[in-house]
Amino acid sequence: MTGGPLVVLVGPMGSGKSTVGALLAERLGAPYRDTDADIVAAEGREISDIFVEDGEERFRALEKAAVAAAVAEHEGVLALGGGAVLDAGTRALLAGLPVAYLSMDVEEAVRRVGLGVARPLLAVNPRRQWRELMDARRHLYEEVARAVVATDARTPEEVAEAVLDALELKDA
């Protein structure tokens, strides 16, 4: 049993979870961990390759296990892949943890993520895909979040600061 993560970041791809997570880890003097990176390391291949070779369902199973392991072991800042909250078991695991949802609007999303091939879910018609993804997920992010932090027109440093404020970790 550990004390659990200090901060868990959720939110859609491109919301800055990795960048903000690394800044938060620095500010808190704690390690940073990212479940996407855990999956890539364990599988020895990129997430886009897992999607193409094995399908999304297999990726979601790997992701569920990666999140459960990280939540149980990690005592620093933890960033989850954008779709991790789709799983009800994962949402139950997050209940009661200091979870911050990094939100952003569609225009900001398209500016940041664009047509990047590294994001298989947004590879075609990113604006429409984004709207559909968020219609399906917004309430799930809100359900698990202790704090919702808007990232639009804010620098990663400003977002990190807002997360510390919102989770009352300023004096940690």
Residue positions in the annotated binding site?
A: 14-19, 36, 60, 82, 119, 137, 154
Q: Which stretch binds ligand S3P (CB under 6 A): 66-74, 93-101, 119-127, 139-147?
A: 119-127
- Residue 151 contacts residue 16 (beta carbons within 8 Å): yes
Looking at the Cβ atoms of 98 and 120, the one nearer to ligand S3P is: 120
Query: Can residue 5 be called a binding residue for ligand S3P (CB under 6 A)?
Result: no
Cα–Cα distance between 9 and 98 in angstroms, integer? 9
- Residue 170 contacts residue 161 (beta carbons within 8 Å): no
- Residue 23 contacts residue 129 (beta carbons within 8 Å): no
Query: Can residue 120 be called a binding residue for ligand S3P (CB under 6 A)?
Result: yes
CA dihedral sign of residues 53, 46, 71, 21: negative
Q: Hey, which bits of the chain come out as E strands?
A: 7-10, 32-34, 77-79, 99-103, 147-150
Looking at the Cβ atoms of 122 and 165, the one nearer to ligand S3P is: 122
Residue among 16, 82, 98, 126 that touches ligand S3P (CB under 6 A): 82
Query: Can residue 119 be called a binding residue for ligand S3P (CB under 6 A)?
Result: yes
Query: Can residue 98 be called a binding residue for ligand S3P (CB under 6 A)?
Result: no
Looking at the Cβ atoms of 8 and 47, the one nearer to ligand S3P is: 47
- Residue 153 contacts residue 104 (beta carbons within 8 Å): no
Looking at the Cβ atoms of 18 and 147, the one nearer to ligand S3P is: 18
Which parts of this chain interact with ligand S3P (CB under 6 A)?
13, 17, 36, 47, 81-83, 119-121
